[in-house]
Structure formats: C-alpha cells, structure tokens
Structure 1
Amino acid sequence: FFFSKIFISILFVLFIFNFFGLISRWYISGHAPWTNGYESAIFISWCLIGISFLFYKNQFVSGITALIASILLMVAHYGNVMDPEITNLVPVLKSHWLIIHVATITSSYGFFLTGAFLGFLVLILFILKVCFRNYSEMISIHIEKLTIINEICLTIGLFLLTIGTFLGSVWANNSWGRYWSWDPKETWALISIMIYAFLLHMRLIPYFRSIFIFNFSSILSVSSILMTYFGVNYYLSGLHSYAKGDPISIPNWVYYSLLVLLIVSILSYYSFKKISYKNNQ
C-alpha cells in the first residue's frame, strides 16, 4: 500500500510534466498540440495517465495505463516513425473545431486502449486461477472488478467517439459543404462505433453472455481503433491526408505480440471452460 502511494505520486508528477509539455508546444506552435501523429500520441499518453486517476483505487488500472502510455511515448520517439517537427497548419485546420473535435476523438482512444489491456489482463487471470487454486476466490474478485472497469472504459470511449464523430461532421460541413463524404477516416470511425456498440450489447445475447467473451472481444475490437489511428493516417489517403505520414514497415514486435495474444487466448479459453465445468458440477 505504501509503495502504491509512491507510484501514484510519481505518476502525478509525470502527468503534470506531460501537461506542461503539451501547453509549451501549444504556445510555441500557436495551435492545439494534436495535429499530427507525434502530437496525438503524446496527448493520448497524457489522457491515459488521467484515466489512471479516475480509477486510482485499483492498482491494476494505474499500472496498465502507465504501461500503455510508456509504449505510446516510445513509439512517438522511436526513429523516424513520427515526426516531432512543429509545422504550419493547413487552412482547414485553422478552426476552433480542431480543439473540440480532435481532442474528443483522441481522448476516446485512451479509454479503448485501456479496455483492451484490461481484457488481456483478465485472460491472464483466468489462467492464473487454474494454476493457483488456493487464490481462486481472490482472483475471481479481481476478474469481476476489472471487467466492470473495462465496461466503464469502453462505454466512456464509445460516448466520446460518437460525440467526436458528430462534431467532425459539423466541422466538415463548415469546411467542405457536406456533413459526410465517406472519407477513410470517417468510415473507420463509423466502423469503430458500430463494433463497440455491438460489444457493449453482447450481454443481451445468451450465447455471448460471459466474462471471457466480453474481455476477449475488447481486445479484438481495438484493432479497429488502431486502423483508424495508424492505418488510415499512414497507408490510406483522403480528406484527412493532412495528418498523413510516410508509410512505415510493421515492426517485428507486432507479430510477436500477436503470437503471445493467440497463446494466452487459447490457454485462457480452456481455463475458463475448465472453471465453468467445475462450477456446474
């Protein structure tokens, strides 16, 4: 408990430093610091630490959000993947909608990423519950709490993404004279909304009404967010090309991560089935 307080205090100090970094970049550039991949990664990492303070009573959430934030910061500062240079804005971005629309959308990504990592942690806990039967009751409590927090994060994220997409359509009408143009960024934002809306309503379907399916789906669903954030910006072109960067090669650690996810998912599924079988006996 003492070390957790120290950890939270360090997180708060880093949160303040990150905030002043964003403010400094805003002052120097003269515009909101989320106009390209580098700036948005810094902003999302700041939002992630803010999420940890929303659920500060759960130490798992603080640790997970700090981990995701550090990964994002490493991606932002790794090689030439994201350009940190401050450049002039294109005319369409010189609008007050930049502060409202983009901030709302990008902050929702923080909640979705948190939900995905919480889902992965729950899968690991299912495996540990079978391996350490003496602590099964305590692990079950953590599984239930983390699943509830996961659902809260996804609900907030869906709310922010929906509102942000609506505000983006208003901005599009002011800039281009139409609310919707099926631009890749718009399309994938709509796909993400539909995916997470289905995910949060899966509990109404008897076959999908299980903690395992919900947490596993929260991991798979974040792929649509990654496509919206990375894929569209770096591999597709459209009206949002102002945020586009040079195409990047997929690093090897991504494939290793997918392999680890596959192994953990299989082991967790069999552990979940084993636990369910014992409870039904």
Structure 2
Amino acid sequence: IMRIAWSVTIIAFALQVIAMGMRWYIAGHAPWSNAYESIVFIAGATIVAGLVLARKSPFTLGATALLGGITLGVAHMNFVNPEITNLVPVLKSYWLMIHVATIISGDGFLGLGSILSLLVLVLFIIRGENGHSNIDKSIKELSSIAEMSLIIGLFLLTVGNFLGGVWANESWGRYWGWDAKETWAAVTILIYATVLHLRFIPKFNNPYVFNVASLWAYSSVIMTYFGVNYYLSGLHSYAAGEPVPIPNWVYYGIAGLIILTLLSYRNRKMSKN
C-alpha cells in the first residue's frame, strides 16, 4: 500500500511540476508572481516537504497529500484569478525566482508541521486519559517530524526575508520599511522561533504544548499571505486581489480548532519514557 501511495504522490507531483513548467514557458517568467501561482507553488512545496520527511512515518505522506490537495483547492476558489498576467516593473527581476521561491518553500514546510500537529491532537483525543503505547509512540514520532519541518520552514522563511531585504534595497532604496508584508513576515519568524524554543522551558517541554503552538502558529502564515494580500495595503499590493468577504468556513474552522484543542487537553499528560 505504501508503495502505491508513494507512486501516486510522486506522479501527481511530477504532473504539477510539468504544468508549472508549461505556465513558465507561456508566461515567460517564473510562475509564482500572483496569488494563483504562489498558492499552487505552496502546494508543490508542501509535497516536497512531505517527500523529504515521509520516510520517518507513513502518516507524513498522507498528511502532505491531504494538505497539498486542500491548498490546490484554495487556488481554484472563486476569489483567486488564474489568469496569466504581465509582470509589474518591480517584479521584473531575478530576485523573483530567488526570494519568492525561498519564502514559499518555507510556507510549505510550516504548513506540513501544522497539519501533523493537528493529527497529533486528534491522537491525543483517541488515546484517552490512561494512554495507549502505540498511540503514544506515534504522538512522539509525529511531534519530532513536525519539529523538523518547522525548523526547515523557519530557516527558509528567515533566509527568504533577508533576501527580500536585499531586493527591497535594489527596488526602493531601503532594506526595511515596516511595510505590512514585511512586518507580518517578521511576526511569523518570531512566533515560530518561540514555538521551537518552548521545549527549553520545563513546564512547556511536552508534545501537547508544542503541537498546540505549532498548529495555531500557522495562522500567522495565513495572515501574512491572505490577510496582507487581500485586506491590507502596502508596497506589496501588486500581489493583492480585490477585498473579499471572509468565508463562513473560516469561522467554522477556527471553532473546530478551538474544540480540538480543548478536547485534547484532558489527555495531554504522557509518561517521560
């Protein structure tokens, strides 16, 4: 079964790469210059993250396929325009390929860490108060993989932001200007740095706290991408679309995550072994 799952995932990823390559050829520039293209790229980056880490656990491959599919679904929602557009002057730079690709790749790894943490919280609910050896083993295993994914994602996000500063200096004559996108990118870096350092605080050094923090930290990535692009203005407005009403499923999703966090809380205690 795992061989089939690996084969299907790799074939699907290969088809996506081919499609992006064709779009690159038709457009004449890297296919991550607008909302549709960048979301599709994030889906691809998520699959890459899963393929890199999936050998550690079969759950990882399923999680990355699920998140990749959901991300592609978002790319084809009504408010996302799939049309190939001409580049605005500031994007006609080799930095488009380097800076944006690095940032988006980091989002893929952070997304995988988040979906794995969601799965871990589900396992906390299933394990019950007395625990179960196999479930506890899976919780620790997936928590370790999620942490590795966050470390890689944070590294790429940080490097991408430094590269963005170099590009900003070439384009606008300054490395940093507290633009909305820049500010939220910095907030995201600080949040994930905090998540990854929680284990150094004795009271927070447990899988439950880490996975709750990892799950909710991804909201900063969503805010940096969708919130800034669609609801805030700034120098990155070339990546924005028309303001759209917040879909009802967003509120339902937040409510669901709150319930998941609370239900898993009662079974949070695990043995140190």
Q: TM-score, normalised by structure 1?
A: 0.93
Whether 1:140 and 2:139 are equivalent positions in the alignment is no
**Does residue 169 in structure 1 map to residue 165 in structure 2?**
yes
Q: Secondary structure at the match of 1:55?
A: helix
Structure 2 equivalent of residue 78 of structure 1: 77
Distance 1:99 1:126 in 2: 41
5 Å matches for 1:170-185? 170-185=166-181
Distance, in Å, in 2 between the alignment partners of 1:50 and 1:163 is 18
Which one of 26, 33, 53 corresponds to residue 31 of structure 2?
33
Does the C-alpha gap of structure 1 residues 131 and 21 become closer, same or farther in structure 2, counting only changes over 3 Å? farther
Q: Which amino acid is the alignment partner of residue 121 of structure 1? A: L
Aligned counterpart in structure 1 of residue 46 of structure 2, from 30, 45, 48: 48
Q: 1 CA distance for matches of 2:218 and 2:50?
A: 19
- Contact kept, 8 Å, 2:50 with 2:112, in 1: the verdict is no
1:121 is matched with which residue? 119
Q: Contact 2:184/2:223 (CA < 8 Å) preserved in 1?
A: yes
**Of 88, 105, 108, which residue of structure 2 is paired with 1:107?**
105
Tell me the equivalent position of 1:91: 89
Rounded Cα–Cα distance in structure 1 between residues aligned with 2:149 and 2:142: 10
Identity %: 52
Inter-CA distance 56–207: structure 2 relative to 1 (3 Å threshold): closer
Q: 1:258 aligns with which of 251, 254, 261?
A: 254
Seen in structure 2, the aligned counterparts of structure 1 residues 18 and 132 have a Cα distance that, compared at 3 Å, is farther
Q: Residue 209 of structure 1: CA displacement?
A: 1.3
Take 1:264 and 1:168, find their aligned partners in 2: how far apart are those partners? 36
CA distance in 2, matches of 1:45, 1:132: 38
Contact between 2:43 and 2:72, CA under 8 Å: does it hold in 1? yes
The CA RMSD measured in Å over matched residues stands at 1.5
- Does 2:154 match 1:158? yes
Q: What amino acid sits opposite 2:186 in the alignment?
A: L
Give the corresponding residue for 1:189: 185
**CA–CA distance in structure 1, aligned partners of residues 190 and 200 of structure 2:** 16
Determine if contact 2:39/2:75 at 8 Å carries over to the other structure: yes
1:232-271 to structure 2, matched below 5 A, reads 232-271=228-267
> How many residue pairs align between the two structures?
272
**How far apart are the structure 2 equivalents of 1:23 and 1:100?**
16
Q: Which runs of 5+ in 2 are unaligned?
A: none
AA of the residue aligned to 1:129: R
C-alpha change, 1:157 and 1:239, in structure 2 (3 Å) is: same
Query: Runs (4+) of structure 1 moved beyond 6 Å?
Result: none
Report how far residue 56 of structure 1 moved. 2.7
Structure 2 distance, partners of 1:59, 1:107, is 22
